[in-house]
Amino acid sequence: MKLRSGAWRSVSDTTIEEPSRGVPSSLPGAAGLPAGRHPRLPVRVSTLDSLKHRNFKLFFSATFCLGAGYWIHTLVMGWLAYDLTRSPLLTTLAIGVENLPFLLAGPVGGFVADRWDLRKFLILVAAYQGIVTAAFSAFVMFGNPGAPHLFAFAFLMGLSWAVADPPKVSFIPSLVPRHVLINAFSLNGLSFNLTRFVIPTMAGVVLVWIGPGRTLMFAASLYLAACLATVLIVYARAQGQASERTRLFGLSPFIEGLRYVAREPFVLAIIVLGGILPVLYVPFVYGMLPVYASENFHVGPSGLGILLSAVGVGSAVSTVVLASAGEIKYKGRVLVFFMGLIILGMTAFSQSPGIWLAFACLVVASGGMTGFLTVEYAAIQVSTPDYIRGRISAIGLMTFGLYPVGSLLAGFIAERTTTPTATLVAGGVLLALTAIILLRAPSIWAFRQTR
């Protein structure tokens, strides 16, 4: 799943001086120019700026491994759930339970992000994910898994994502200079989403070939590889303003975070806008993919992998565009644009007669979703002070804890009508709620980054 701060410009860390300020005349193109004319410099592409920094390269690699492991275990979980239960409701719930801990443990992640050594904490989380996945893999291979076991595994993995995502968001500013921060957030999202290109399709083929238990063992090894990459990161821990933190937040850090959100109209508005996506978009599209693959498109695990790969294509394209865009001042307007892509993509997907048109619609919808989340987290980071940033990020991420609510709604509607009808209805409600939020909170459209 799961991530954005500061004022940014897509420029090089090294300033290029003009000829009149010290460029030797012996440089190619510098001699013989008329007075007042300077040599034309090539346009520099800034898409990979953050990867110049060693620590971020390691973090990028760790996120890539986490993403690959996540998509493998998500595909296996979705297929196992539907294969065991043949119920859209239980299938969406089995996937949705993984997001429930965001509502329960999200504040813990925010507290950790503001007070603990983030590198050590992320090492422990990646190791935990590897061990839990390996244990469940062994149980699937040698035991007799049922729906309760899937729910338990999903919840245990969800706990790790819930407490780790806010620290990950807060860790990135310590790995790169401030002026390439939006590039770093975009590339971090790209590293996670790149794995959706081929990993789900490969995992679907491997699932048919060697079975779900052995396929999950690949996910476990990738989580442990992410742990190793994080171990290699070397950085100076930011000390922050300990005395101010203690004075302001010693009694109830999370409550103070909520108070901060309540008095900042723009931050409150984008958190509310983002909070409806885990209820009306994610469970009605992502959570239903195993059902669409089996009942609507009549394809097996490999077809489900193709649909998940479409999500990766859209997400990767969106993050590359954002990474190359540089500074985005009117972030609220960009959020509205991405929300429009989400609604368009999911409604068209619900009416798709075949898997390849559905693939294209998922590309549009997932591109909108990834773009929305990237800009939302970046807007939160630039709008909040350092000492409380982790807690505000956690509050934003906590909205994913509402996923099980959406799963119940999606399964309930799908079992009483059809899966496409459920997705179409959710798209209409999402459009209506977005319009209401924009009318009630004009600060989203008017917000402009000034620093």
- What pLDDT digit, counting tens, does each position of 382-399 carry? 777 767 776 777 777 778
Q: At which residue do the structure tokens 């119940």 appear? A: 408
pLDDT above 90 coverage of the chain, percent? 32
What confidence tier does 2 reach under pLDDT thresholds 50, 70, 90?
very low
Instruction: Look at the alpha carbons of 13, 16, 22, 28 in this order and tell me if their dihedral is positive or negative.
Output: positive
- The continuous run of DSSP H or E covering 172 comes out as none
Of 32-36, 118-122, 228-232, where does mean pLDDT reach its minimum? Answer: 32-36
How far apart (Å, rounded) are the C-alpha atoms in residues 208 and 94?
A: 21
Which has the closest alpha carbon to 185: 389, 41, 426, 337? 389
Residue 166 resides in a domain? yes
Residue 373 resides in a domain? yes
Question: Given this model, what pLDDT does residue 219 score?
Answer: 95
Residue 115 resides in a domain? yes
Q: Which 3-state string (H, E, C) describes 81-104? A: HHHHHCCHHHHHHHHHHHHHHHHH
Query: Residues with Cβ < 8 Å from 39, sequence gap 6 or more?
Result: 19, 27, 28, 29, 30, 33
Number of domains in the chain: 1
Question: Given this model, what pLDDT does residue 450 score?
Answer: 53
Query: Helical H runs in 146-275?
Result: 147-171, 181-210, 212-231, 242-249, 253-262, 265-275
449 contacts 329 by C-beta, under 8 angstroms: yes
* Tokens standing for residue 292: 């669409």
Please provide the distance, in angstroms rounded to a whole number, between the alpha carbons at the two ends of the chain: 29
Question: Given this model, what pLDDT does residue 163 score?
Answer: 84
Question: Given this model, what pLDDT does residue 309 score?
Answer: 85
Q: For residue 292, is pLDDT > 50?
A: yes
What confidence tier does 68 reach under pLDDT thresholds 50, 70, 90?
very high
* Tokens standing for residue 25: 């005349």
Query: Helical H runs in 250-354?
Result: 253-262, 265-275, 277-280, 282-285, 289-291, 301-325, 331-350
Burial grade of 247 (CB within 10 A; 0-12, 13-18, 19 or more): exposed
State the residue range of the domain holding 276.
53-236+251-446
Q: For residue 34, is pLDDT > 70?
A: no
Is 320 or 274 the better-scoring residue by pLDDT? Answer: 274
Mean pLDDT for the stretch of residues 414-428: 94
DSSP 32: T
Question: Given this model, what pLDDT does residue 399 score?
Answer: 81
Per-residue pLDDT tens over the stretch 42-64: 444 466 778 888 999 999 999 99
Q: Interhelix angle for 212-231 vs 118-142, to 10°?
A: 160
Residue 163 resides in a domain? yes
Residue 85 resides in a domain? yes
CA atoms within 13 A on the CB side of 284: 33
431 contacts 297 by C-beta, under 8 angstroms: no
118 contacts 429 by C-beta, under 8 angstroms: no
Q: Interhelix angle for 355-383 vs 389-398, to 10°?
A: 150
**Amino acid occupying residue 182:** I
CA atoms within 13 A on the CB side of 291: 29
Mean pLDDT for the stretch of residues 251-272: 79
Residue 189 resides in a domain? yes
| DSSP helix, strand, coil percent of the chain (3-state; round to 5) | 75, 0, 25
Chain mean pLDDT for the chain: 79
* Tokens standing for residue 254: 């999370």
Q: For residue 203, is pLDDT > 70?
A: yes
* Tokens standing for residue 13: 């860390």
- Does the pTM exceed 0.75? no
Question: Given this model, what pLDDT does residue 255 score?
Answer: 78
What confidence tier does 113 reach under pLDDT thresholds 50, 70, 90?
low
Mean pLDDT for the stretch of residues 18-26: 37
Question: Given this model, what pLDDT does residue 15 score?
Answer: 35
**Amino acid occupying residue 411:** G
Residue 180 resides in a domain? yes
pLDDT above 70 coverage of the chain, percent? 80
Sort residue 299 into left (φ over 0), alpha (ψ -120 to 50) or beta. beta
Planar angle of CA 41, 44, 50, nearest 5 degrees: 145
How far apart (Å, rounded) are the C-alpha atoms in residues 312 and 303?
A: 14
220 contacts 130 by C-beta, under 8 angstroms: yes
Question: Given this model, what pLDDT does residue 218 score?
Answer: 94
- Output the CA–CA distances (angstroms, integers) from residue 401 to 18, 19, 175, 368, in the order listed: 53, 56, 28, 20
Q: For residue 326, is pLDDT > 70?
A: no
Question: Given this model, what pLDDT does residue 429 score?
Answer: 96
200 contacts 308 by C-beta, under 8 angstroms: yes
Residue 149 resides in a domain? yes
Is 247 or 413 the better-scoring residue by pLDDT? Answer: 413
* Tokens standing for residue 371: 């773009």
CATH code for position 262: 1.20.1250.20
